[in-house]
């Protein structure tokens, strides 16, 4: 009897067919399905985790971006600017010299809503444009982003006009005349010690009825006017002063241009109506990218820029306007794939060309704010193409931005 080599035998294994028994096949099949399903969950989990991770990084990034603004200069915050008499304390003299070592840069400080001392914030960061949202109630102009933010003591006069008068009086105290024979500027020193000829734009956003607000603004800036601190148009040319008042929102264009021999409130012209062919030799005077809204002369807005008192053939130039602005998102559109498309760049070039031919400064508002890298890239592109002012809430970010074009500029903050 031949000795059979015994194979190790396991119960239930069918060694003849080499197949696994049914229960084992089922067990393995189950295990496979389990693995497959949980593998898919695992993958989704990983993706979710990555998304979550970068979400957190973004949130932290945003908060860090605001941190310097929240932890702002304690000296400025120790002062309650809503109390008028505080402006004459010792601290005030510190604030009078706030621009001592500040380099002015063409940014525009928007959104005074959550900034307690918007004017000083803008100046301390070196922004040469600052915005005041004004509402007319009870015969006075109140400052705030919305009606909820208005308080008795936050008025246009107390938060902007009076501090500017004080600051400029202080700077011009010992100088009788700036040594200039230049007829296109007043001979007063401006708010920036390092660049005394630099004008500060005070952009006044008319929030409610524009034709009612206009005379109030005009009379409240008279302290600046009388001292020769305002940029004005004398019927022939514009003479630049330390402060340039620009009206936007529901500001009525017809009232801005009503007086043809003297103007010191300038309009925020609609940039999207100034497009000229960027490659063409001659500028065409007509709007080619008009949004087709021919009834815009009566459009009233509570946010951003309006076209009150304009007609389709209103002519905007440096005798009646200072900025030419538009809502980036509305005019240029969304940004896909992280950069401006060819078409978008051509549109922006054309708008810039049209505005510059009329002697106006280009300002886009409503450009993407985040991710920070995208924002910076868009800023980079805009400045590169010739945009004159950036609009934003992130003053630190704007001032860190390298305006002197761009070679050494990194993508990381
Ligand atoms: C406004 O200022 C006045 C005078 O300094 C003060 O008496 C009053 O309480 C302030 N009002 C508010 C709402 O802060
Ligand atoms: C102006 O002159 C007075 C007296 O000489 C001096 O006390 C003051 O600090 C000067 N002001 C400025 C802004 O230089
Ligand atoms: C603004 O006020 C003027 C005069 O009081 C009035 O005629 C006009 O209709 C008002 N405009 C709006 C948009 O309410
Ligand atoms: C224009 O403004 C100047 C200076 O305020 C004034 O003297 C003149 O009368 C005004 N002209 C008209 C037409 O309102």
Q: Report yes or no on 141 lying in a domain.
A: yes
Residue closest by Cα to atom 1 of ligand 1? 153
Distance from the CA of 259 to the center of ligand 4, in angstroms? 6
Task: Look at residue 365 in the predicted model and tell me its pLDDT.
Answer: 86
Dist CA 304 CA 292 (whole Å): 19
Q: Do 131 and 108 form a contact (C-beta atoms < 8 A)?
A: yes
**2 lies in a domain?**
no
pLDDT of residue 260: 93
pLDDT digits (tens, 9 = 90+) for 217-262: 999 999 999 999 999 999 999 999 999 999 999 999 999 999 999 9
CATH of the domain at 234: 3.20.20
Residue 175 lies in a domain: yes
Which residues sit with their C-beta closer than 6 Å to ligand 3? 209, 211-212, 300
pLDDT digits (tens, 9 = 90+) for 272-293: 999 988 875 444 444 444 433 3
pLDDT at 97: 73
Nearest ligand (C-alpha, residue 230): 4
The verdict on the CB of residue 151 being under 6 Å from ligand 1 is: yes
Determine the distance from the C-alpha atom of residue 214 to the mean position of all C-alpha atoms in its chain, rounded to a whole number: 24
Q: Tell me, what's the pLDDT at 294?
A: 37
Return the higher-pLDDT residue of 255 and 400.
255
Number of domains observed in the structure of the chain? 1
**pLDDT of 301 over the 70 cut:** no
User: Residue 180 pLDDT more than 70?
Assistant: no
Residue 369: what pLDDT? 77
The answer to which of 7-16, 362-371, 385-394, 395-404 has the lowest mean pLDDT is 7-16
CA 202, 207, 210: angle at the middle one, nearest 5?
90
From residue 369, alpha-carbon distances to 62, 372, 378, 394 in Å are 10, 7, 10, 9
Q: Express each pLDDT in 374-389 by its tens digit.
A: 888 888 888 889 998 8
| Percentage of the chain lying above the pLDDT 70 cut | 69
Minimum-distance ligand 2 atom for the alpha carbon of 171: 13
User: What pLDDT, in 10s, does the model give residues 116-170?
Assistant: 678 888 888 888 999 899 999 999 999 888 888 788 888 999 989 999 999 999 9
CB of 93 within 6 A of ligand 1: the answer is no
Domain that holds residue 372: 105-287+297-400
Give per-residue pLDDT as tens, 110-131. Answer: 655 555 678 888 888 888 999 8
Q: Determine, yes or no, domain membership for 390.
A: yes
Look at residue 32 and tell me if it is in a domain: no
- Report yes or no on 343 lying in a domain: yes
Identify the residue whose tokens are 């496979």: 32
From 235, 261, 263, the mutation candidate for ligand 4 (largest count of ligand atoms within 8 A of CB) is 261
pLDDT (tens digit per residue) in 334-345? 888 888 999 999
Q: Cα 299 to chain center, whole Å?
A: 23
pLDDT at residue 304, as a whole number: 66
Q: Please indicate, yes or no, if residue 276 is contained in any of the structural domains.
A: yes
Atom 5 of ligand 2, nearest CA residue? 174
Integer distance in angstroms from the first to the last C-alpha of the chain?
Answer: 88
Is residue 66 a part of any domain in this protein? no
pLDDT at 289 (0 to 100): 40
Ligand nearest to the CA of 212: 3
Q: At residue 73, does pLDDT exceed 70?
A: no
Q: Tell me if the bond preceding 371 is cis, omega within 30° of 0.
A: yes
pLDDT at 346 over 90: yes
Asked whether the predicted pLDDT for residue 88 surpasses 60, the reply is: no
> Which pLDDT score, from 0 to 100, does residue 284 have?
43
């Amino acid at each position: 009897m031949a000795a059979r080599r015994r194979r190790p035998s396991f119960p239930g294994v069918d060694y003849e067919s080499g197949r696994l028994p049914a229960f084992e096949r089922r067990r393995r099949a189950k295990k496979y399905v389990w693995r497959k399903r949980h593998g898919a969950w695992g993958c989704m989990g990983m993706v979710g985790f990555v998304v979550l991770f970068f979400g957190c990084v973004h949130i932290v990034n945003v908060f860090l971006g605001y941190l310097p603004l929240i932890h702002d200069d304690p000296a400025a915050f120790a002062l309650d600017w809503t109390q008028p008499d505080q402006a004459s304390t010792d601290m005030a003299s510190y604030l009078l010299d706030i621009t001592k070592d500040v380099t002015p840069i063409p940014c525009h400080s928007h959104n005074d809503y959550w900034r307690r001392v918007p004017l000083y914030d803008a100046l301390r960061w070196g922004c040469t444009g600052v915005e005041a949202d004004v509402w007319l109630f009870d015969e006075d102009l109140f400052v705030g982003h919305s009606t909820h933010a208005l308080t008795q003591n936050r008025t246009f006069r107390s938060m902007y006009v009076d501090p500017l008068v004080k600051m400029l009086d202080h700077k011009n105290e010992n100088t009788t005349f700036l040594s200039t024979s230049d007829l296109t500027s007043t001979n007063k020193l401006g708010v920036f010690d390092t660049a005394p000829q630099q004008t500060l734009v005070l952009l006044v956003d008319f929030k409610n009825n524009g034709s009612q607000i206009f005379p109030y603004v005009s009379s409240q800036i008279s302290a600046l006017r009388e001292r020769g601190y305002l940029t004005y148009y004398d019927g022939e040319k514009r003479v630049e002063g330390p402060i340039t008042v620009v009206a936007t929102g529901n500001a009525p264009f017809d009232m801005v241009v009503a007086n043809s021999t003297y103007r010191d409130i300038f309009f925020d012209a609609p940039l999207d109506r100034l497009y000229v062919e960027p490659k063409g030799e001659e500028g065409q005077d007509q709007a080619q990218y008009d949004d087709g809204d021919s009834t815009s002369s009566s459009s009233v807005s509570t946010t951003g820029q309006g076209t009150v008192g304009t007609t389709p053939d209103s002519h905007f130039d440096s005798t009646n306007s200072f900025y030419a602005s538009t809502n980036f998102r509305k005019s240029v559109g969304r940004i896909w794939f992280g950069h401006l498309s060819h078409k978008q760049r051509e549109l922006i070039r054309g708008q810039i060309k049209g505005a510059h031919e009329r002697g106006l400064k280009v300002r886009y508002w409503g450009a993407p704010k985040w991710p920070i890298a995208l924002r910076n890239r868009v800023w980079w592109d805009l400045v590169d193409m010739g945009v004159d002012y950036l609009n934003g809430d992130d003053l630190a970010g704007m001032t860190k931005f390298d305006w002197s074009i761009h070679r050494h500029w990194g993508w990381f903050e």
